[in-house]
Structure 1
Amino acid sequence: MTTSKEPVVIVGGGQSGLAAAHAALSAGLRPVVLEAGTAPVGSWPDYYDSLTLFSPARYSSLPGMAFDGGDPDRYPTRDEVAAYLRRYSASIDAEIRTGTRVTAVHPRPGGGYLVQTDGGDEIAAAGIVAASGSFGNPYLPVLPGKDAYVGEVRHVAHYRRPEPYAGKRVLVVGAGNSALQVAYELAPHARVTLATRAPIQFMPQRVRGRDLHHWLRVTGADLLSRAVLTRLVRHAAVLDTGVYRDAITAGLLARREMFTAFTADGVIWADGTHEALDAVIFATGYRPHLDYLAPLGTLDDGMPRHVAGVSTTHRGLVYLGLEFQRSFSSNTLRGVGRDAAHVVAALAAYQSGRSRRRLQPMTRLPVRC
């Protein structure tokens, strides 16, 4: 039986998990954050070395702590974000256990959950916040001939720096921000081609002298849902100051329509021509990393069933950090705090309802003789 002494277990100690802990404390709940890594920074130290945020520091904060340390209009680096999350975790009065990977979550008779970890621990939880992100589950499309290809194939999740590719023929697959950033970084070192299914769409980083994120905030576009946004923007767009578009126009980066198959030493392009390659890097996104929820039966092909982050299959289970969970900015530093407040409010209401039911006295039935 769930009791008020049992914590809300937050799976994941990155930006989403820390935002959830902050919201839980504000709601009077007791959060316990379980982070698989060695520090409460999520996947940030594992991104490629040159990664920077696409939003300025002034728009990249979690609730209760500004992203300080310099020019608020700078684009923070990977390491700056990790350092910020360390400071943030130290500022909140929540129990955070690092080096603790959740392996399974089971329902308990009477309500609540049992959380199992790779260290053999079992934690009774009043509720679950699944905030484990998606970096641990990179998506690689299934393409003919991939198993026969002898060159290097990797996801951008495992790319770090350009020097190992010097002098090589490299194909980067994808039309998003990471694909363009990595391809542009590789271009001075290697012969680089971009493979995309449609022409790349660019969006200006600055509009009327201000970063785009200023306009996303003042217009309310950051709060748009996927359903609304897809009616306004038909294709994903790359934020660009002009350098990426110029690199393609000048021929520094070649762009071709997506290839149809691998060969032993390269790929077959859509026009039937063959090209030999040394390496293929897929910047094809990620999927939610929620395998530990499999015992609950709440996933459809790995995807959670939810409305705005609140599970539609299990009471007391919520999600955080999903792409377009509630809005355009849901899985970002600037937006996850709003979602955290929303799902934690649902958790608090659920626990409050359970407490009232437990305290309600039993009704005495009349005795009939």
Structure 2
Amino acid sequence: MPQNTPQPAPRGHLKVVVIGGGQAGLATGFYLRRAGLTPGEDFVILDSAAEPGGAWAHMWPTLRTFSPTQHSSLPGWMMPAWTGDNGYPPGAHVVDYLTRYEQRYQLAVQRPVRVRAVERDRGALVVRTDKGDWTADHVISATGTWSRPFVPTYPGPFAGQQAHTAQYRRAADFAGQRVLIVGGGNSAAQILAEVSTVADTTWVTQREPRFLPDDVDGRALFEIATARRRAHDTGTTSAGVAGLGDIVMVYSVRQARDRGVLHARRMFTGLDADGVHWADGSRLSVDAIIWCTGFRPALSHLTPLALRGTDGLIPTEETQALKEPRLHLVGYGDWTGPASATLIGVGRTARDLVKSLT
């Protein structure tokens, strides 16, 4: 469907500027439009990427979502069904869905536009970009985390190949090597599952990995996150995901379990030129390390507002920044809404955010 919506001119004043055109930005744009705001006139979505798809456009091709398509959809339009791999679609299917989603709702995403800073100016917020400035009554930051991969620091000069989840593309790049997979989440389990078919792999984690039952997927994680948030709001307690597990047993991970490779060692204490070592004196020689150690929120554009707390995050009430009520944050994880970093979870957070504005 062609995208024939008006294109806003730089230095215009809008009701809302959304920074980020991935799943969180699109879900927010859907609810802004449903609330009666016109894309390109009342609000604009700015995206630094040249093409649609958000972080999904940069993930490795064999990555699978953690839920089937009917439970991996943004508001308004269900993701088209994926019949292979027990219904768990690959990243390319998600990219196609997000591309068609923004076209379907004519969200007028502006790209590539790189936001340099958000600043205060005479009762409004100014969004400064490489394509000019926008001012707005409200700014919604939805930049996610993919652009800020995190690698922990360990003493020692490892000379081998190192890659983060963000750089990983295919198992064949590690064929015949001794590979260390670091991290206890879904990305680590899926990368381990495929790299272990062509390489000698060792898996290390901070604690014993916790696997969901085979018949449980990302839907359960979303409901658990929601229950945990409700418990926090009411002053009660919730078991959270600890009582169930964290790693979704998609088909490739179940295959890895059947091959006997889902066994993890505890974290090492240091690196040397060709491997890692532990406090008990044991060591392991490896050719490559893949760091599946997560990401940090991409918030540098908000630095001029001086909002960060001691933990590096911006204190919020729901999605609203406590020290700057004209700023909202969505899609960064549970601190900005239960499961808001997921396809299924971000819709609820975006709905509540827009409702608070209109």
Range into which the TM-score falls when normalised by the shorter chain: 0.7 to 0.9
Superposed displacement of residue 247, structure 1: 3.8
Superposed displacement of residue 5, structure 1: 5.7
Superposed displacement of residue 327, structure 1: 5.0
Q: What's the TM-score once normalised by structure 2's chain length?
A: 0.86
Say if 1:193 and 1:253, in contact at 8 Å, map to a contact too.
no
1:231 aligns with 2:242: no
Say if 2:319 and 2:337, in contact at 8 Å, map to a contact too.
no
| Matching residue of 2:6 | none
Say if 1:65 and 1:88, in contact at 8 Å, map to a contact too.
yes
SS in 1 for 2:247: strand
1:275 aligns with 2:275: no
1:277-356 residue pairs with structure 2 within 5 A? 277-300=286-309, 302-325=312-335, 328-348=338-358
Change (3 A) 1:229 1:328: farther
Q: Report the Cα distance in structure 2 between the residues aligned to 1:58 and 1:221, rounded to whole angstroms.
A: 18
Q: Report the Cα distance in structure 1 between the residues aligned to 2:109 and 2:271, rounded to whole angstroms.
A: 45
One of 147, 151, 156 as aligned partner of 1:140: 151
Q: Report the Cα distance in structure 1 between the residues aligned to 2:305 and 2:347, rounded to whole angstroms.
A: 26
Superposed displacement of residue 277, structure 1: 1.2
Q: Report the Cα distance in structure 2 between the residues aligned to 1:312 and 1:71, rounded to whole angstroms.
A: 44
| Matching residue of 1:68 | 80
Q: Deviations over 1:178-232 (max 9, x none)?
A: 10100110011111000011111111131xxxx5456668xx5452235578634
Q: Deviations over 1:300-359 (max 9, x none)?
A: 3541221211110112110110211365422111111110011122233xxxxxxxxxxx
Higher mean Cα deviation, 337-346 or 82-91?
337-346
SS in 2 for 1:96: coil
Say if 1:225 and 1:326, in contact at 8 Å, map to a contact too.
no
| Matching residue of 1:364 | none
SS in 2 for 1:154: strand
1:93 aligns with 2:106: yes
1:47 aligns with 2:59: yes
For 1:282, give the aligned amino acid. Answer: W
Q: What's the TM-score once normalised by structure 1's chain length?
A: 0.84
For 2:226, give the aligned amino acid. Answer: L
One of 14, 25, 33 as aligned partner of 1:17: 25
Say if 2:69 and 2:81, in contact at 8 Å, map to a contact too.
no
Q: How many residues align?
A: 335
For 2:298, give the aligned amino acid. Answer: H
Change (3 A) 1:247 1:100: same
| Matching residue of 2:115 | 102
Q: Deviations over 1:263-296 (max 9, x none)?
A: 1111112432122111111111111101000000
Percent identity for Structure 1 against Structure 2: 35
Q: Report the Cα distance in structure 2 between the residues aligned to 1:203 and 1:253, rounded to whole angstroms.
A: 13
1:115 aligns with 2:127: yes
1:150 aligns with 2:159: yes
One of 83, 92, 100 as aligned partner of 1:79: 92
Q: Report the Cα distance in structure 2 between the residues aligned to 1:40 and 1:293, rounded to whole angstroms.
A: 23
| Matching residue of 1:187 | 196
Larger Rg: 1
Q: Report the Cα distance in structure 2 between the residues aligned to 1:92 and 1:201, rounded to whole angstroms.
A: 39
1:128 aligns with 2:129: no
| Matching residue of 1:357 | none
1:38 aligns with 2:50: yes
